[in-house]
């Protein structure tokens, strides 16, 4: 029998799930697409999203997570800008009984029970794909000397940069046919990609190929090369990661030679996992999203659907 209260107010609305999300910032087109995906998916799922932008500072993320705990959200999700330094705040969340989902970038911790699971991309595989492409391109050139590679890497201490660097080096192995003659972090920023490539070109360091950890930096690299009268993708070989629209356009124009996808559109799966966690259900400890590799000369590159970032 319904109580008079239920009769009066109609069906009791399902408690709205509250998700606290700490995003690292807005450093690249990839990151902005990741944010859009999360906001839209929360909206579609009827989940109340408390969204905090840390402006590239880990301490802001720790403050945000503490505010989510104080607010007693149902679930916390975050992108750890760097891999270390999370144990204390994650222990506070665990003590408060709030499940935590790690997304996009990974953490290193003493205690893997401090979070429920990870959903994101496989940075090491992305690095391996980059090395596989450069190996193939160099073999095609039938060069009688080692390939000189410049690496412009992502945010220092992030799992994305560490994973890409590790996978790249593992795949190249100790094959003396490939030499990394210069490596420096461009922090995933277009402006830093530009500055670093300008200084490399001014220093006269000879190189055959560039491995750039994200398309944002690659756009800066292309700008610096063109300013010096170079034809990027022809005078040298360029491999880049993310697969934002501008990189696909550069691939079609022959200005880069390989674009490795890193999928930012994880909003829907994050919401599914958050709902499971709110119900006390278990989730897989690690989920890697599917990713493609786009190479020069692939058929139908111009027919690819818009990337949305
Ligand atoms: O490659 C880059 C963003 O964490 C995988 O961060 C992400 C990286 C992505 O700034 O564009």
Mean pLDDT of the chain: 95
Question: Which position has the token pair 């499940």?
Answer: 99
| 304, pLDDT greater than 80 | yes
77: three-class secondary structure by DSSP: strand
Alpha carbon distance 297, 185 (integer Å) = 30
Confidence of residue 2 (pLDDT cuts 50, 70, 90): very low
Alpha carbon distance 154, 214 (integer Å) = 7
Which pLDDT tens digit goes with each residue over 145-189?
Answer: 999 999 999 999 999 999 999 999 999 998 789 999 999 999 999
According to the model, what pLDDT value does residue 12 have? 56
Q: Which residues line ligand 1 (CB under 6 A)?
A: 27-28, 30-31, 104-105, 121, 160, 188, 214, 216, 241-242, 262
Residue nearest to atom 5 of ligand 1 (CA): 160
Query: What predicted TM-score, i.e. pTM, was given to this entire model?
Result: 0.94
| 13, pLDDT greater than 90 | no
| 258, pLDDT greater than 50 | yes
| 11, pLDDT greater than 70 | no
């Amino acid at each position: 029998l319904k109580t008079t209260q239920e009769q009066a107010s109609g069906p009791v609305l399902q408690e709205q799930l509250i998700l606290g999300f700490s995003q690292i910032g807005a450093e690249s087109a990839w990151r902005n697409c990741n944010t859009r995906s999360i906001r839209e998916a929360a909206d579609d799922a009827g989940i109340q999203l408390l969204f905090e932008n840390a402006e590239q500072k880990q301490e802001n993320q720790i403050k945000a997570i503490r505010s989510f705990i104080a607010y007693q959200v149902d679930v916390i999700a975050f992108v750890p800008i760097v891999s270390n330094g999370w144990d204390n705040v994650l222990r506070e969340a665990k003590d408060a009984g709030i499940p935590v989902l790690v997304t996009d970038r990974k953490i290193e911790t003493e205690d893997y029970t401090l979070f429920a699971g990870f959903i994101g991309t496989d940075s090491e595989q992305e690095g391996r794909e980059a090395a596989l492409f450069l190996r193939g391109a160099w073999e095609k050139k039938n060069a009688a000397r080692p390939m000189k590679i410049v690496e412009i890497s992502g945010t220092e201490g992030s799992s994305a940069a560490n994973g890409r660097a590790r996978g790249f080096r593992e795949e190249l192995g100790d094959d003396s046919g490939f030499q990394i003659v210069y490596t420096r972090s461009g922090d995933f920023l277009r402006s830093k990609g530009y500055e670093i490539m300008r200084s490399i070109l001014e220093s006269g360091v000879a190189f055959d190929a560039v491995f750039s950890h994200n398309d944002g930096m690659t756009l800066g690299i292309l700008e610096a090369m063109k300013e010096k009268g170079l034809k990027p993708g022809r005078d040298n070989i360029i491999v880049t990661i993310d697969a934002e629209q501008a990189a696909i356009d550069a691939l079609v124009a022959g200005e880069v030679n390989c674009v490795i996808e890193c999928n930012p559109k994880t909003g829907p799966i994050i919401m599914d996992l958050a709902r499971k966690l709110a119900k006390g259900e278990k989730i897989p400890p690690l989920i890697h999203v599917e990713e493609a590799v786009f190479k020069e000369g692939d058929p139908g590159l111009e027919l690819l659907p818009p990337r949305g970032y």
